[in-house]
Structure 1
Amino acid sequence: MKLSLFGATGRVGSHILANALQDGHEVTALIRSLVKLSQAPADGLHVSTGNVLQEADVALAIHGADAVISALGTDKSTTLSEGMPLIIKAMKQEGISRIITVGTAGILQSRVSPELLRYQSSESRQKLTRAAEEHHKAYTLLEQSGLDWTIVCPTYLPDGVYTGTYRVEANHLPVDGAQISVPDTAEFTYKQLFSMEHVRTRVGIAY
């Protein structure tokens, strides 16, 4: 499979990249600086240096891909909400329908106030909502895109260790879910490339 990966230098993205390369897939990773790439040169890895906010860079990174994964973070900026329209546009131009992204548990539905998202309700313990608002914008863009999207929504995300054992639930955070490690989040995100179970769904993930 040919995969276009955004956010490959981040915590979750770097693990997704390693998983894909280990399985023999061809990955084009759009990164801003080679210095940030922890992955050693490997067969199947194509590095495209550029910026997700530049339409031409995004189009080049997506060209020829079978699917797209975005592990872009909010990084105290609007990169996510500004970059997502460019990713969607490039995908449509290339005729690519499948995209998996990493979001946040804040954009899952609230159990205490079902008409609200978690970050909008008393269910969330986060006092600052800027990051969740960025992910909400990206979710809205994907929801309106017509693409086959899946948003993986981890709760508290320590680096942790790989366990391979976790709970997931469509559109909600699993009951009493408190945390999920980076490696387990990356594994589940990567596995969505080969599953249509959660298409056009937000998926909460936790232990």
Structure 2
Amino acid sequence: MKRILILGATGRVGQQWVAQALDDGHEAIVLVRDPRKLTIVSDRLTVLQGDVTNPQDLIHAAKRTDAILSALSTDGGTVLSQCAPLLIEAMRQNHIRRLVTVGTAGILNSRTEPMLLRYQSNESRRTLTRAAEEHHQFYKQIAHSGLDWTIVCPTYLPDGEHTGIYRVLRDYLPADGLQISVQDTAAFAYKQLFSAEYNGSRVGIAY
């Protein structure tokens, strides 16, 4: 049994992770601002109220955990860039190596403009890049942390089914990839906790 800290546990991907970790017999620790948003109950689930931008909250939540899953979003502001150095320090203080996060396909390498990321290139269909810029800042800090990290980067992310049938590619979005369900994204990212195949990599995922 592992002790897994899950950040962003009340979101669509995070809720999938909590359920999967508990189903697999692991212990899940979640750090949430509003515990009322978490409906799962288990004697192997520890719910801590706090804020990921508070260093002491993160350090406390990470105590005696084996790995961290993060599905934190930009939250319309600078949560990711604020959290990154605090998360790195909390992991160092608690001697945690493994970090798996969900990012965005915008921070993958561009196929059409090789010196750019997708959100910076003509591949991007979005006129607003603020969220991708936040994910980019998070990625840059994690990439230089010395941790065993993996960032799973889905494109359009609707609710759907867990099919187990999808394509993944290191540092690029699979060609012509248009979408991937929350369920398949969560399942793939969860599996990376127990694999070193994509350590130190961004991973594009799509159908």
Q: Does residue 72 of structure 2 align to residue 72 of structure 1?
A: yes
Matched, 1:142 2:142: yes
Partners of 2:22 and 2:141 lie apart in 1 by 29
Q: Letter of the aligned partner of 1:2 in structure 2?
A: R
**Is 2:183 the counterpart of 1:183?**
yes
* Structure 1 contact 14–38 (Cα < 8 Å) conserved: no
Q: Map of 1:86-125 to 2, 5 A cutoff?
A: 86-125=86-125
Distance 1:11 1:119 in 2: 23
2:36 & 2:67 partners in 1: Cα distance? Answer: 26
Q: Secondary structure at the match of 1:18?
A: helix
Report the CA distance between 1:35 and its aligned residue: 1.4
Contact 2:62 2:91 (8 Å CA) reproduced: yes
Amino acid corresponding to residue 120 of structure 2 in structure 1: Q
Distance 2:43 2:16 in 1: 16
Matched residue, 1:2: 3
Secondary structure of the 1:194 match is coil
Counterpart CA distance in 2 for 1:188 and 1:154 is 11
2:192 aligned partner: 192
C-alpha distance in 2 between matches for 1:43 and 1:191: 23
Give the residue type in structure 1 aligned to 2:3.
Answer: K
TM, length-normalised to structure 2: 0.98
- Report the Cα distance in structure 2 between the residues aligned to 1:38 and 1:151, rounded to whole angstroms: 27
Whole-angstrom distance in 2 between the partners of 1:87 and 1:5: 12
CA contact (8 A) 1:28 1:48 kept: yes
Is the partner of 2:20 in helix, strand or coil? Answer: helix
Match of 2:24 in 1: 23
Q: How much does 1:85 deviate? A: 1.1
For 2:10, the aligned partner's letter is T
2:35 and 2:48 in contact (8 A); partners too: no
Report the CA distance between 1:53 and its aligned residue. Answer: 0.9
Where in structure 1 do 4 or more consecutive aligned residues deviate above 2 Å?
A: none
Match of 1:57 in 2: 57
Instruction: Give the letter aligned to residue 99 of structure 1.
Output: L
Cα deviation, 1:25-45, whole Å, max 9, x if unaligned, reads 011100001111132x11311
Distance 2:142 2:34 in 1: 27
Are residues 1:81 and 2:52 paired?
no
Is residue 52 of structure 2 the alignment partner of residue 42 of structure 1?
A: no
Confirm or deny: 8 A CA contact 1:170 1:203 kept in the other structure: yes
Q: Per the alignment, in what secondary structure is the counterpart of residue 193 of structure 2?
A: helix
Q: CA deviation at 1:159?
A: 1.0
Please give the secondary structure, in 2, of the residue aligned with 1:123.
Answer: coil
Q: One-letter code of the match for 1:11?
A: R
Percentage identity across aligned positions? 58
